[in-house]
């Protein structure tokens, strides 16, 4: 039967199955292929906290969503056009998000009585008519996969593992994606086990040609490459971008890079990535705990390295006393907090923005430090680089905030040329004439001196320092002076960061202010609102302490200010406290990012209320 071809501007696909079904793998392969094809894209991996949750259960479902487009993409999409469901649990968990009249590609072989019971189905949804509002495509994925690889002599278990690539092959056919990129990846991935590589390639091709020959598919879709600014691009996740950002800062400054870290979801990939750059002189230290990790990094900073420690919220809680030490001794240190759902262990594999108070206010005593936040996976590179620049220029620890959504999400990244990166000042004082450990330059930064420099011996530690000399001081007036001086140094950074930029009219009825990973959802929502004739302006903050010095003036020019956050209103409270503006919080703490439609609906509600 002849297939019709429909050209789309964008499409959203979600792969869903058991945590052992390889949904993250096929989602990543679809992403990589679409990036090579030239689409702009954004992804959202979503997986359970259990390493191997019980098969067939609702809490064991793993999903991967991607929006790819011939135009600019800011989010992974609200509602999938296509849901690939590998079992009943995957269908039940994800059906609520599927677009009305969307397509379901279901592995009918998995819809057996046992799996239906585990998912809480009393009848088979593929047969009982409950999916009549969708385009249902039933595919015998398991049987077809086993048939495709039967000549290779695999065990039943190994043969069954290939079914994710059969499903991927169907989606490649459906959206006219090439196979060769994934085939090369499989050959490289399983170079030491070519039979497994061949089996997955056979499954991939079988799924692709099933789409070509099966009469149940009447339409396939084309999404043209996007017109992106000229440059060299690569697909990148937020964690990998962060690792490259701190590495670039090391090379640009000429300072050796040291990472002291303890593995924790979702930050561990940064440690893994940086450990592979030994050829650039990177030293990675996997410590026995979070406290040892940050203390080792402080020692590296004292020794003259660009020091870095990475963690998530629970690890930040353990590091706080040592971070206070870094503030007291005024050494450059970059601290990455890849936020996740909390408190305590919370939701390890879910996203949240609830560590803003912890970053700005989390230490004992008056202990301010700069805080920056990335807005997208690719932006993790630049904001990590910026954190290192501020740390070295002002001799202070700096907190970099990302979250699980950015860390695991991916998008195309235009690789900057080295000349596009700002200068990082990593100079050490060697002139002993007139030297004192806590003398100040025009930035209120104290000198950075390598230990062992002749005639420049000095004491560091957690006790209060005397102004200029750095001697231990219990003088109350000196303590107040030093507390205010350190606060002034951080506040002074506002003169060396960009002013806040307004997208849209400089004044009006409503302004949306966001920070961190809400950028994509807010941008998509604003585009929809503008298309409907609503006038909405936007500011997105990347510098959270200090904030841009023109922000207060911007807030005054709008009647209403909406602040969407994945917490209970932390930025809202800071804005109210600092600028006496009664902002409107829009909050979500479900471990999931905002949908653009949620923000769009809230804005319309505010603009139309009497």
Whether 312 and 337 have beta carbons less than 8 Å apart is answered as: yes
Query: Looking at the DSSP assignment, which residues form a beta bridge with residue 309?
Result: 335
| Upstream peptide bond of 546 is cis (omega within 30 degrees of 0) | yes
Residue 427, pLDDT above cutoff 90: no
| Upstream peptide bond of 376 is cis (omega within 30 degrees of 0) | no
- pLDDT number for residue 2: 73
Whether 505 and 596 have beta carbons less than 8 Å apart is answered as: no
CA 526 – CA 514 distance, rounded (Å): 12
Helix (H) or strand (E) holding 210: helix 194-213
Share of the chain above pLDDT 70, in %: 100
**pLDDT grade for 53, boundaries at 50, 70 and 90:** confident
Question: Which pLDDT tens digit goes with each residue over 334-374?
Answer: 999 999 999 999 999 999 999 999 999 999 999 999 999 99
- pLDDT number for residue 1: 64
Short-list 156, 162, 157, 177, CA closest to 222: 177
Residue 71, pLDDT above cutoff 70: yes
| Upstream peptide bond of 65 is cis (omega within 30 degrees of 0) | no
Asked if the 234-420 domain carries CATH number 2.30.30.240, the reply is: no
Q: Kindly state the tokens that stand for 98.
A: 């599927």
Whether 351 and 340 have beta carbons less than 8 Å apart is answered as: yes
- pLDDT number for residue 608: 94
Q: Kindly state the tokens that stand for 75.
A: 């989010």
Class of residue 236 by CB neighbours under 10 A (exposed 0-12, middle 13-18, buried 19+): buried
Whether 87 and 107 have beta carbons less than 8 Å apart is answered as: yes
Question: Which pLDDT tens digit goes with each residue over 576-585?
Answer: 999 999 999 9
What ranges do the domains of the chain cover? 4-223, 234-420, 508-608
Q: Kindly state the tokens that stand for 260.
A: 């002291």
Whether 471 and 519 have beta carbons less than 8 Å apart is answered as: no
CA 294 – CA 264 distance, rounded (Å): 14
CATH code of the region 508-608: 3.40.50.920
CA 86 – CA 428 distance, rounded (Å): 58
Query: Which residue, chain included where needed, has tokens 């002034």?
Result: 488
Give the mean model confidence (pLDDT) for residues 237-244.
Answer: 98
Residue 411, pLDDT above cutoff 80: yes
- pLDDT number for residue 496: 97
Share of the chain above pLDDT 90, in %: 95
Rounded mean pLDDT of the chain? 96
Residue 489, pLDDT above cutoff 80: yes
- pLDDT number for residue 303: 96
- pLDDT number for residue 559: 97
- Could you write out the DSSP letters of every residue in 47-91? --SSTTPPTT-GGGEEEEEEEEESS---SS-SS-SEEEESSHHHH
CA 442 – CA 314 distance, rounded (Å): 36
Query: For the chain, how far is it from start to end, CA to CA, in angstroms?
Result: 56
Question: Which pLDDT tens digit goes with each residue over 108-128?
Answer: 999 999 999 999 999 999 999
CA 495 – CA 210 distance, rounded (Å): 61
Reported as half-sphere exposure (CB side, CA atoms, 13 A), residue 154 has a value of 25
Alpha carbon separation from 61 to 15, 93, 106, 111, 118 (Å, rounded): 10, 8, 14, 15, 12
Question: Which pLDDT tens digit goes with each residue over 292-336?
Answer: 999 999 999 999 999 999 999 999 999 999 999 999 999 999 999
3-state helix, strand, coil split of the chain in percent (to 5) is 40, 20, 40
Domains 234-420 and 508-608 share a fold: yes
Q: Kindly state the tokens that stand for 520.
A: 């994509």
CA 325 – CA 171 distance, rounded (Å): 53
- pLDDT number for residue 532: 97
Residue 30, pLDDT above cutoff 80: yes
Residue 169, pLDDT above cutoff 80: yes
Class of residue 537 by CB neighbours under 10 A (exposed 0-12, middle 13-18, buried 19+): buried
Give the mean model confidence (pLDDT) for residues 166-171.
Answer: 98
Give the mean model confidence (pLDDT) for residues 562-588.
Answer: 98
Question: Which pLDDT tens digit goes with each residue over 501-537?
Answer: 999 999 999 999 999 999 999 999 999 999 999 999 9
Residue 196, pLDDT above cutoff 80: yes
CA 94 – CA 233 distance, rounded (Å): 32
Residue 610, pLDDT above cutoff 80: no
Reduce the secondary structure of 482-525 to three states and give it as a string.
HHHHHHHHHHHHHHHCCCCCCECCCCEEEEEEEEHHHHHHHHHH
CATH code of the region 4-223: 3.40.920.10
- pLDDT number for residue 525: 98
């Amino acid at each position: 039967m002849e297939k019709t071809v429909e050209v789309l501007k964008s499409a959203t696909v979600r792969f869903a199955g058991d945590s052992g079904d390889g949904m993250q793998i096929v989602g990543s392969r679809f992403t990589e292929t679409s990036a090579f094809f030239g689409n702009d894209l954004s992804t959202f991996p979503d997986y359970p906290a259990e390493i191997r949750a019980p098969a067939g259960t609702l809490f064991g479902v793993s999903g991967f969503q991607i929006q790819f487009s011939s135009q600019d993409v800011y989010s992974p999409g609200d509602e999938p056009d296509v849901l690939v469901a590998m079992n009943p649990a995957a269908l039940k968990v994800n059906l609520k998000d599927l677009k009305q009249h969307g397509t379901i590609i279901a592995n009918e072989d998995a819809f057996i009585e046992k799996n239906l019971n585990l998912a809480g189905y009393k009848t088979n949804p593929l047969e009982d008519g409950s999916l009549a509002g969708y385009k249902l495509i039933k595919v015998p994925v398991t049987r077809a996969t086993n048939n495709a690889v039967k000549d290779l002599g695999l065990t039943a278990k190994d043969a069954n593992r290939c079914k994710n690539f059969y499903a991927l092959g169907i989606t490649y056919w459906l959206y006219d994606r090439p196979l060769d990129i994934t085939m090369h990846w499989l050959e490289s991935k399983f170079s030491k086990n070519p039979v497994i590589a061949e089996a997955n390639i056979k499954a991939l091709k079988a799924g692709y040609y099933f789409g070509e020959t099966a009469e149940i598919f009447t339409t396939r879709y084309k999404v043209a490459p996007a017109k992106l600014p000229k440059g060299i691009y690569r697909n990148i996740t937020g964690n990998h971008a962060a690792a490259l950002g701190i590495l670039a800062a090391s090379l640009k400054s000429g300072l050796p890079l040291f990472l002291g870290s303890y593995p924790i979801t979702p930050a561990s990939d940064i440690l893994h990535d940086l450990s592979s750059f030994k050829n650039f002189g990177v030293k990675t230290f996997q410590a026995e705990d979070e406290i040892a990790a940050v203390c080792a990094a402080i020692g590296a900073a004292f020794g003259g390295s660009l020091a870095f420690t990475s963690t998530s919220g629970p690890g930040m809680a353990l590091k706080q006393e040592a971070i206070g030490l870094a503030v007291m001794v005024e050494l450059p240190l970059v601290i990455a907090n890849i936020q996740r759902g909390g408190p305590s262990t919370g939701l390890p594999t879910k996203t949240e923005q609830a560590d803003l108070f912890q970053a700005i206010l989390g230490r004992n005593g008056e202990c301010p430090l700069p805080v920056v936040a990335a807005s997208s996976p690719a932006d993790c590179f630049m904001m990590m680089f910026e954190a290192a620049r501020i740390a070295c220029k002002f001799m202070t620890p700096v907190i970099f905030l990302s979250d699980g959504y950015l860390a695991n999400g991916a998008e195309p990244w235009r690789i900057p040329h080295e000349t596009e990166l700002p200068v990082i000042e990593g100079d050490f004082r060697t002139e002993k004439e007139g030297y004192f450990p806590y003398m100040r330059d025009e930035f209120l930064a104290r000198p950075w001196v390598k230990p062992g420099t002749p005639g420049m011996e000095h004491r560091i530690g957690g006790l209060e320092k005397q102004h200029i000399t750095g001697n231990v001081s219990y003088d109350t007036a000196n303590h107040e002076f030093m507390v205010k001086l350190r606060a002034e140094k951080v506040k002074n950074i506002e003169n060396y960061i960009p002013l806040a930029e307004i997208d849209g009219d400089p004044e009006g009825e409503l302004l949306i202010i966001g920070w961190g990973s809400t950028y994509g959802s807010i941008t998509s929502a604003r585009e929809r609102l503008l298309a409907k004739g609503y006038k909405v302006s936007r500011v997105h903050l990347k510098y959270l302490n200090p904030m841009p010095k023109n922000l207060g003036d911007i807030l005054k020019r709008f009647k209403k200010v909406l602040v969407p956050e994945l917490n209970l209103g932390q930025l809202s409270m800071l804005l109210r406290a600092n600028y006496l503006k009664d902002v409107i919080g829009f909050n979500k703490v479900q471990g999931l990012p905002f949908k653009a439609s949620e923000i769009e609906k809230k804005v319309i509600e505010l603009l139309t209320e009497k």
